[in-house]
Structure 1
């Protein structure tokens, strides 16, 4: 499950790297799209974990719900970092 979440989060980040050669406004747009994709991807993974947790009980369900929350938080943090880095790059040029 952990590798699925990491792979789902890495693909949009790699796509951002391809857009770095574009002009600044296009680069920032690409970063925003990538950040949105990262957040959406982590939400999808977290939703899947939540779905599995619904079928579990007790400590197993609690652990899965905590994992889903962590995946969502990680995705949001990563998306925020992508947007902040794009803004810094935009200001630097």
Structure 2
């Protein structure tokens, strides 16, 4: 009879522990969501920065501040970086525009 009582008490303790820990388990999901939102926000900011840098390089080329060779090298690098950012956004499920 003592074994049955011990098993019953352990089962009850596990059930109570599971119920009490419920809100704590939900908090982790909220923290994960917040981290994902922050990561998406960082990637969106990086994407916009690359787009701005591409436009600035184009303007510098048009105004003669950059040679064609320099412009092409800079433009290629910035576009590669922008594509990588878009891939990361896509992998996280964020807007890629």
Please give the TM-score of this superposition, normalised by the length of structure 1.
Answer: 0.52
Is 1:41 aligned to 2:49, yes or no? yes
Q: Which has the higher helix share?
A: 1
The answer to whether the 8 A contact 1:50-1:64 is kept is yes
The answer to whether the 8 A contact 1:53-1:61 is kept is yes
Deviations 1:8-39 (A, max 9, x none): xxxxxxxxxxxxxx700111111111111111
* Larger Rg over CA atoms: 2
Please give the TM-score of this superposition, normalised by the length of structure 2.
Answer: 0.50
Alignment match, 1:69: 76
Task: Give the secondary structure class of the aligned counterpart of 1:23.
Answer: helix
Deviations 1:40-69 (A, max 9, x none): 101111111110111239x91243133123
Structure 1 gaps of 5+ residues are 1-21, 88-93
Distance 1:62 1:51 in 2: 15
Distance 2:83 2:89 in 1: 10
Q: How many residues are matched? A: 64
Alignment match, 1:10: none
